[in-house]
């Protein structure tokens, strides 16, 4: 059976992680890597060329490689133009991009339209969906025994820019708190609770620099309302943490990266930790969620089925971010 032929554009941390993971799949052949940096190209040739992987600095070279899928792991600002080129030049139909899908909702809509016309499979790297703990929360809500959620509090915290006194190149390249870490909890909330609309944004002077912090409320048409708190200046969060408290008529779910606490209306409680939920994968690199998301994308191609989260799904995160930015500008 012919292996699926994959390539990766962008050889930063995420590009190297996905390239390494793809190399472990029996049904995948990593064919090519692309990066503009001469230093990274030389480095990757020393690692991957022994396996026959071509390392290039121009994606036009991909045209002759008969690729089945391409991973785009470049900075967010370049996603739209690279995806446009891949489609326009007929290089590939199936594309994975790292989060966020685009720099704004307008770009995201255009990318979705192009993907619909081409008809390939798409995916965006919201790997927290593949956490066994957040997956358990999804399962409990889907059972319906807790009733329809009516309130939530979602957060994403890190200490990455704690003590920062002025803007830095690192801060700018990561797109601000909403696009850097906030987008993950926005995607999780949309996945668990359904579509949301921004209601109100907390003014910058109450929460700090808007590039490193954001707080806002959101709601849906069924009466659900809640708050998002996102900060990259939180003390004691050496590693980013994502969490969500969801209140329902028959109980509440308190879930984060490591555990889920279920408290029922009668006061009884049950807790699940990651290790209780068989958090294992065949090849562990970074976090287990990375392997599972790559496994999902590969299998969506093998089984010719829709993949989640895809461009359409991920564009909803860009929509919410644009809503927050617009209301923030309006004061």
> Model confidence at 310, in pLDDT bands (50, 70, 90)?
very high
Whether pLDDT at 179 is above 70: yes
The fold for domain 4-127+297-302 equals: Rossmann fold (3.40.50)
Specify which residues 30 forms β-bridges with. Answer: 6
pLDDT of residue 327: 84
Domain locations in the chain? 4-127+297-302, 129-281+311-330
129-281+311-330 homologous superfamily: Dihydrodipicolinate Reductase; domain 2 (3.30.360.10)
Residue of 286 and 169 predicted with greater confidence? 286
> Model confidence at 44, in pLDDT bands (50, 70, 90)?
confident
Q: Do domains 4-127+297-302 and 129-281+311-330 have the same CATH topology?
A: no
Return contacts of 164-168, CB within 8 angstroms, 24+ apart: 164/212, 164/233, 167/211
């Amino acid at each position: 059976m012919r292996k699926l032929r994959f390539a990766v554009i962008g050889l930063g941390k995420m590009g190297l992680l996905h390239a390494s993971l793809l190399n472990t799949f029996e049904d995948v052949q990593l064919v090519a890597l692309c990066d503009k940096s001469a230093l990274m190209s030389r480095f990757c040739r020393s690692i991957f060329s022994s396996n026959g992987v071509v390392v290039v600095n121009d994606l036009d070279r991909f045209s002759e490689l008969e690729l089945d899928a391409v991973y785009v792991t470049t900075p967010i600002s370049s996603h739209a133009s690279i995806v446009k080129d891949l489609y326009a030049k007929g290089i590939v139909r199936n594309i994975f991009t790292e989060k966020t899908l685009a720099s704004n909702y307008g770009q995201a809509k255009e990318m979705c339209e192009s993907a619909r016309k081409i008809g390939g499979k798409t995916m965006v790297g919201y790997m927290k969906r593949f956490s066994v703990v957040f997956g358990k929360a999804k399962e409990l809500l889907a059972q319906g025994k807790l009733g329809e959620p009516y309130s939530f509090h979602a957060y994403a915290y890190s200490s990455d820019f704690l003590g920062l006194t002025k803007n830095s190149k690192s801060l700018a390249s990561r797109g601000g708190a909403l696009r850097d870490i906030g987008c993950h909890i926005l995607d999780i909330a949309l996945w668990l609770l359904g579509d949301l609309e921004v209601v109100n944004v907390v003014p910058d002077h109450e929460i700090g620099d808007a590039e490193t912090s954001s707080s806002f409320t959101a709601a849906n048409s069924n009466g659900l309302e809640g708050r998002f708190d996102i900060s990259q200046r939180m003390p004691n969060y050496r590693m980013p943490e994502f969490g969500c408290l969801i209140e329902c008529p028959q109980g509440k779910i308190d879930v984060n990266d490591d555990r889920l606490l279920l408290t029922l209306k009668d006061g009884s409680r049950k807790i699940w930790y990651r290790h209780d939920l068989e958090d294992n994968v065949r090849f562990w690199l970074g976090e287990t969620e990375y392997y599972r998301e790559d496994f999902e994308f590969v299998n969506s191609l093998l089984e010719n089925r829709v993949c989640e989260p895809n461009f359409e799904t991920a564009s909803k995160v860009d929509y919410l971010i644009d809503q927050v930015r617009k209301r923030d500008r309006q004061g």
